[in-house]
Structure 1
Amino acid sequence: MESSYLRYLAQAPDHDKDAILEELMNSYGNDVWNFAYFLTRRPDMADDLSQEVFLSVYHNLFRFRGDCSIKSWLLTITRNKVLKVKRSAFLRKVILVDYVIPGGHTRSAEAEMFDRADTRHIWQAVMQIPLRFREILLLHVHYQLNGKEMAELLGIPEATVKTRLYRARRKLEAILDKEKGRE
């Protein structure tokens, strides 16, 4: 979806905005949810935050200026919502359990294990590094944003993005090396 197209449609009546929202959700819904989950480590919070992001987008379509890509705009909104929730006193007082792994079924045992073991191991290691480094890695590796886009999304200088990315890689490497030493 082109940014100029979105800006044009943002001025449309509400029934057209419903179609825009649906298209945005279909195109970027998984990205928004994954980013929210990655930052919070909680699937229930990622669900709620994703809904809040798209509700906010619906009400603020006219504010999209086209200075960045639509994906960057949505991820910025997601990040801001996550930070707001993490700062809230409600979250600190009410949520007592960090994370519960839901039970479920897997496909074929050996095939699933070998296909996903390495990837899961790496993502578990990524989840151990501090948030500011974790989000840089996610934006770079998973969402393939460049330094300028990450800087705009995070509200930091591009040089800081490069420094954090370098440090994130070193921290991840140290965790993986430490785990190899235990095996």
Structure 2
Amino acid sequence: MERPYWVSLTSGYDRNEVLTDLMRQYGDDVWNFAFFLTRRFDAADDICQEVFIMAFKGLYSFRGESSVKSWLLTIARNKSLNYLKSAFIRKVTLLDKVIPRERASPSAEAVMFDRLESAELWDHVMQLPRKLKEVIILDYHYGMAIKEIAAMLQLSEGTVKSRMFRAKQRMSELLKEEREYGI
């Protein structure tokens, strides 16, 4: 639930308290979205931290033209895409595929996915191309409206609807293949 003071934040508010409140309320959403886009635990940690640092610096400039959640997820999306474009990550990702790293204990994300009844469905979502994956995640996981998704991704509502249709169509194909071939 949105807090009204975020829309009209002025310099009289304690930014540390507001930031703590933002992190408590949206921290998991930001981390999960970064993980969905990057598929890397370490990257999601770093990106989440960068998002809240950026939000802390820009608290007083938030104009309330979108929800706070959309604002934070937009920052997370941009940071994730920049991360994926970097030459460093392409090299590290390739190295991880050649020499896989072992995790000492399961992450919170892994535990969460294990508990979800729809874990295999999310596995299929993760196989989709990024453009299709984004709209599915923002719609079904975060419950955002088409208009809000369009504004966040800087696309027309028609494009979002088209991507949503293609994503659902591709998901149907993947599920049908799984049932038929046991893939």
How does the TM-score come out when normalised to structure 1? Answer: 0.85
**1:146 and 2:145 aligned:** yes
CA contact (8 A) 2:8 2:64 kept: no
For residue 139 of structure 1, give the secondary structure of its aligned residue in structure 2. Answer: helix
Q: Which moved more, 1:28-37 or 1:92-101?
A: 92-101
Query: Could you tell me how far apart the structure 2 residues matched to 1:88 and 1:136 are?
Result: 23
Q: Output the amino acid matched with 1:145.
A: M
CA contact (8 A) 1:9 1:20 kept: no
1:108 aligns with: none
Change (3 A) 1:104 1:3: closer
Deviation, structure 1 residue 104: 4.8
CA contact (8 A) 1:10 1:17 kept: no
Deviation, structure 1 residue 12: 3.3
State how 1:51-66 maps to structure 2 within 5 Å. 51-66=49-64
Change (3 A) 1:50 1:154: same
Deviation, structure 1 residue 9: 3.2
Instruction: Give runs of ≥4 in structure 1 deviating > 6 Å.
Output: none
1:123 aligns with: 122
2:110 aligns with: none
2:12 aligns with: 12
**Gapped runs of 5+ residues in structure 1?**
106-112
CA contact (8 A) 1:40 1:82 kept: yes
Aligned-residue CA RMSD (Å): 2.1
**1:72 and 2:78 aligned:** no
CA contact (8 A) 1:36 1:50 kept: yes
State the identity %: 43
1:134 aligns with: 133
Deviation, structure 1 residue 100: 5.8
1:168 aligns with: 167
Q: Output the amino acid matched with 1:130.
A: P
How many residues align structurally?
Answer: 172
Deviation, structure 1 residue 86: 1.1
Query: Could you tell me how far apart the structure 2 residues matched to 1:121 and 1:100 are?
Result: 23
